[in-house]
Each structure stands twice: as C-alpha cells, then as structure tokens.
Structure 1
Amino acid sequence: MKSLSRGLDLLDAFAERPRRHFAELAAATGIPRSSLYRFLALLAARGFLRQDPLTSEYSPGPVLYRLGSSGAWLGELRQAARAVMPALGARTGESVYLYVREGATRVCVEALEGTRGTIRHAIKPGSVFPLHVGASGKAILAFLPDAERAVLLARLPLPRLGPGSITRRGELRAEVERIRRQGWAYSEAELASGAWAVAVPILDRTKTCVASLVVAGPMVRLERERLPEYARLLRAAVADLTRSL
C-alpha cells in the first residue's frame, strides 16, 4: 500500500501545475530519488506520464487525458474557452481555436468554424503542430519561462511546413522577442499557403503559459489593418476566460 500511496502522491503533484522537473517532483512528494526514478519510468511506460525530450519535464500522459484525470485546469480551460469563443467568432466572422501546449508541440482542443464567406479556415480538434510555426505556437513559445524558452529556441527542430515557415534560429529568436514586446503573435502561410492567424497567450494559475487563443482565416480575406483589432478582441476574451477559471 505504501507504493500505491506514493504513486498517487506523485500523480497528485500534477494537479496544480501540469509540467514539472524531477527535482520539483522530489521536493513536492518527498519520495526518495531512487524510488522516484522507478515510479516515473513505470508511469511513463504505461502512458500515465510523458517526459519532454527537450526540457526533461514530466507532464500527464495520454492515459490520464483519456481518463479526464490530468488536472481540473484543462477541463476548466476548455469550458471557459467555449464561453468566450462564440462572441469572438461573431465579432470577427473568422474561425476561433484553443490550443494547449504539449511539450514541443501544441494541440487543438477546441474549434469554432468561422461564418464569414464561403472559404473558411478549418482545423480539427486533436490536430498537433510544432511550436515554431503558426501564431498559436509562437504565442505559447514566446511567453514560456525564460530558461525553458531558451532551451526550446536552441533545440527545437525547425522544419518548413508552409512557405512562410521560420527555419532559421536567429529569425525565430527575433520573432519571439517581437511577440513578447507587442503581446500577440501573427502568422501568414506558416503551416500552409492561404492562411493567416493572430494569437494571444493564456497563462495558468502559476502564471505559466500553457495555451493560446487564436483567430484565423483565409488569405483571400486578409485585412491587415484589422490585425491589431483582432489582437485586442483576443486579449479581452482571454481576460474574461481567465477570470472565470
């Protein structure tokens, strides 16, 4: 029973903060390091936890996501997003998405297709993309803790997924700094030709960036003069969202 109790203590450590380093887990649980290594290896092998190969952080794995036991924050976040996304879609006429960070990638967990025109931007929930391309990924990357951001900027693979993809580290670092200064991210044809997006970061209870809220549309309907307006609307929606968490 002692081993079971320790395993439950370990999983419970992810309730408030879904990404933790080994040292944090050792301090939070009091489990001896040799035992903690074994617990983490077993839970990762069974899919209850995963370890980020770039940052070495542990986070809830696919089994916990399927069970809905990865922490109340994700369910609360999705519910809060569903409350603000319709108004945002109505104001812009474009598609609205919620992305959650998963290691060096981001996952679409909520999607609301736009109503404007016959050509619309469409991404299905469950779609996974790297952090270095697209407004939503760059918004998350730019507002990660300094040390974590530095590691990712140094190690992230930078494949070209669209004609506008950033594939040089110096260019990505400059883009991230620009996003941090202005508070929102923009992308144009980074994942695929013919699409643009504006995104703002979402912070969790510990003020760590875990997600982003996005407005996206087709290039044929891009109105560049409206980009700052979209950013303001997104910021207001995120403010409402975080107040309800």
Structure 2
Amino acid sequence: MLEKASAILDVIERGPASSAEIAQATGISRGTTFRLVRDMARLGLVARDGDRITLGPRIPQLAAAGNSVPVAHSWAEKLAALRDATDAFAVRLHQLHSPATRVCVAEILDLHAPQRSQLGMPEPLRADPVTLTFLTWQSKSNRPGAQVPAAVPYRDDTLTRTRRRGWAQGFTGPDHCVAIVAAPVLDRRKRVVAVLEISGPVAALSTTPGRTHGRSLIAVASESDVISECLYRRGAAVPGAPAQTVSSLHLLTTTRRTG
C-alpha cells in the first residue's frame, strides 16, 4: 500500500490528475486507486479540486518541519513586512512547474485569511496576474508574446503594457472582491525565475492595487538575496544571486503585526 501511495504522489507531483488518469499511469486498479486517494485525502496527503487530485497540505508541512526552518529568516520577515505594509491576506512566490503549470514555493498567510494554502500544489497556468507576469518576461529574447500558450488569452499589446509597468494586477472571487498584484523576480539576464504575488480584499488593496502597491512589490522582488532564500528549484538559488540554497518548501502563517 505504501508503494502504491507513493506511486500516486509521483503522478500528481507532475500536475493535477483524475482518479482514472492516476490508475492508468500507475497500473493500479481504479477501485484501489479510489480507496487510496480517499484515505490519503483524510490524512492531508492529497486534496480534491473538483474531479482532480492534487498534492495535499500535509506534504509541504512535512517538508518544512523536516528542515526545522526558523521563522526569523530574512525572507520570512521581508514577505511578512510586505504583507503588513499592503494589508494583503497572502504573499506568495511562484515558480514554473512545467510549461503548462506553476507551483507556489513560499507563502506568508495572515492567520485569519480566508484563503487556503497553495503551497507546493502544482496548478495549471490560467488567465490571472501571476500567469500574465510569467508570460510577459519568460521569453529569452524578451519579445512579448513569443511563448504565449494558445490556452491563455493574452495579446502582445497586453504583454507590452505589463512589461512597461513592471507589474500585473487582476481581481477574482465572488463579485471580483479579491485583488491580486504580481511582479517578476528576474535574474541578471532579465529572465523571469519566479513571480511574487500579493492578494487580499479590494477594500484593503484598493480598486487600483497595481498602482497602489506595484512599486513595493517590485522592490521586494528585486532583492535577490532574500528571494533566493525562498526559491525551491531542486536546491538551487536564483541564477546570478548569492550562493544560497534551500531544499524545502516553506510555509509561515502568522498574526498581523500591530503597533
């Protein structure tokens, strides 16, 4: 059973999959796959998103606990300070997981944030500020639109405007009540290696969150020595950044500072 559970995790580590797709990829019968997924979900090892199975919240928690990550790291303080300064509910750092998926590799949540953790869970690229930021800066030739997937409806002029501003913004949730701002983390060759994102209620971030908080986000995203502490890319830091490595995912959930 442990070997089968491990095989299931191997499949969804590459991206969300249905029970049928997991059974086909692993060679495990559908009935056994269904029962294992059900039991693993109860333990927090996997999670359901509709009919798709993803990595569960217990995986990144175990990774962080195994490395005994202290909460006083400079990256945690910087991201928590960004959260407090912007009144965001969440600050997240994302990397591309595959050409079609991304993964949250570091996360600072407010203790009372209604948002669920996204840490360590590969998600498909979708039309939102994080994906827009990846697409805007990912081309090695720095030509907007050069690598835009057909499934994501962004035109060259949208990417050009985003590059000129330095950030992307958007809204989500019921009645677009949640604001999102994203900015690229660039290496010395100006290639995107990660995307820094803040999100929170429109009432806190304003109806023009990019104009209000874009510069603050860019300032933190430009601090490669801090960002390189966060990034999880098989133990490698940001290209061109100081030689620091981190070998696990990190999660910090804290109360908002007062006074």
TM-score range (shorter-chain normalised) is 0.5 to 0.7
Is the CA contact 2:129–2:169 (under 8 Å) kept in the aligned structure 1? Answer: yes
5+ residue gaps, structure 1? 1-45, 51-65, 67-78, 159-167
Distance in 1 (CA, whole Å) between partners of 2:225 and 2:150 is 29
Which digits, 9 at most, give the CA deviation of each residue in 1:11-65, with x for residues without a partner? xxxxxxxxxxxxxxxxxxxxxxxxxxxxxxxxxxx99xx9xxxxxxxxxxxxxxx
Distance 1:98 1:199, change over 3 A: same
Aligned match of 1:114: 110
2:131 is aligned with 1:137: yes
Distance in 1 (CA, whole Å) between partners of 2:172 and 2:157 is 18
TM superposition score normalised by structure 1: 0.53
Which digits, 9 at most, give the CA deviation of each residue in 1:71-104, with x for residues without a partner? xxxxxxxx77435201101211211000012223
Distance in 1 (CA, whole Å) between partners of 2:130 and 2:173 is 11
Aligned match of 1:98: 93
Is the CA contact 1:119–1:218 (under 8 Å) kept in the aligned structure 2? Answer: no
Distance in 2 (CA, whole Å) between partners of 1:238 and 1:210 is 11
Distance 1:150 1:229, change over 3 A: closer
Specify which structure has the bigger relative contact order, considering alpha-carbon pairs within 8 angstroms and separated by 6 or more residues.
2
2:80 is aligned with 1:86: yes
Identical positions, percent: 24
Q: Which structure shows the higher helix fraction?
A: 1
5+ residue gaps, structure 2? 1-9, 15-59, 61-72, 227-240, 243-259
Distance in 2 (CA, whole Å) between partners of 1:106 and 1:180 is 20
Taking the TM superposition and a 5 Å limit, the aligned residue runs for 1:95-244 are: 95-102=90-97, 103-114=99-110, 120-145=114-139, 146=141, 150-153=145-148, 155-158=149-152, 168=153, 171-189=154-172, 193-219=176-202, 221-242=204-225
Distance in 1 (CA, whole Å) between partners of 2:118 and 2:197 is 14
TM-align CA RMSD = 3.4
Q: State the 1:241 CA deviation.
A: 3.4
Q: State the 1:107 CA deviation.
A: 1.0
Is the CA contact 1:105–1:131 (under 8 Å) kept in the aligned structure 2? Answer: yes
Which digits, 9 at most, give the CA deviation of each residue in 1:126-175, with x for residues without a partner? 2333444221221121011247864432x4323xxxxxxxxx4xx54332
